[in-house]
Structure 1
Amino acid sequence: MSTPDLPAYKADFLSACLRGSVIQFGSYTLKSGRTGSPFFFNAGLFLTNASLFHSIQTAYAQTLLQSTVSHPDFGFDVLFGPAYKAIPLAAATFSELARLDGAKFGHVGCAFNRKEVKVHGDGGSLVGAKLEGKRVVVLDDVLTVGTAVRESVDIIKAQGGTLAGIVIALDRMEKLPSTKEGEEAPNISAIAQMRRDFQVPVLSIISVLDLVEVLRASGSEGDLQRIIEYRKLWGTEE
């Protein structure tokens, strides 16, 4: 599929997602319980192919690199990957950052949480860099309701760290689900809500609007129209 006028790392990442079927089309139920999503982002598939995985580690690293260039006050000491899916993403990204610019990112560490607290050896619920006194960026794949990221923020604060930012692979730009049955969904996305709640940068490699433009350019009318109709019900502008 052809890609719209995106930065090279975004275009390469989106092409890899489509080529590797990481972005899948059909009818899916999301983690939030919302049904009928016309596409699904399966980040676990990045682990099935080394070249495919290289595309996501490069895209995460470039997103962080470009953000530090455009916003000099944005800095971080540790990348945090919530268990389990984001663990390899954070580990690969902090290594790629050091490769891209060792002088700038060679000090950056990586950490992740255990879902089961270890009671032998070094013990504890965290693995990797210490978070106390550190500026921490959380990496995840997609924010639907943001449960894993919010749990990560609680861990970071409990360990004496400071949340510096959040980076995800795909911004669905989708309304949060209703908290009570029968209530209308709030007209705000998980990303927008987190920006308001935490007052830190919340970045994404690509968004659903990038996907829409790629489908439009490639003539994939069926998938394009299903996403457009779905966004009329659940889409947001931020």
Structure 2
Amino acid sequence: MSRKRDLITSDFAGWRYKHDYVELLNLLGHYLSLHFCIVCRDNVGTTRTSEAKAMATVKEPLTPVTGHEIEVVLQRLRNSKDVGADLLRVLDIAIGITGADMGTLQRFDERADCLIIVASRGFSPEALNYFGVVRRDTNTTCAAALMRRMRVFVEDVSTSYLFVGTRELDVLRSCGIAAAQSTPLISSNGHLWGVFTTHFRELQIEREFDHAPLDRLAVQVTDSLEQREDLVPSQHFHDKQIAEDSQPGG
């Protein structure tokens, strides 16, 4: 028994010295990727959490009005000649479901291997120019969602490992963004069409949010878009490009 323990100890020591720092980081990354979403918290703990604002409509069913808006926009996505304006309506619904203040919707360009903004709400031209094309190595929740094909949620961008010390954090702060979540648009067939991200001006509490309505919307939208895969947004739609009376709820 003693000899067996010595062998185990010797093997562990060998493993420890043979594997460098990069390998340890890879193991840590693999561990994080097993989680359904990433929740980034700060060191203040309960103090920050008590100050944070939970997402609107937490654990509440969709209202009849929102349900009707979703039905209308899905029908338009299946039949419209240019999906750009309708994608802005989709983004508005996602912003409403999450109780967010602004957001972006990006299409995944397979050839260029990047995300391209096709609809946005609440961002300055400078911010849209900076985040207009997002590649896999960009420090953003949408890039992380693209890489992992799962939702990425950051409760506080100022303490998240994705953003600390990056130019991206400076841009987010200039927009007044405190938290963000990115949900990949993946069809029922497993095809990734893009990502929509909603942003918040206040800290958020991820554990109090019911993801189901947003997940359903993502699948429904992507399935509708797949039926018209020959159509792509002809331009980037943002903010006031759709008349107020034609927006959801208008």
TM-score in terms of structure 1 length: 0.31
Give the strand-richer structure, 1 or 2: 1
The structure whose RCO (Cα within 8 Å, separation 6+) is larger is 2
TM-score in terms of structure 2 length: 0.30
Q: Which has the larger radius of gyration?
A: 2
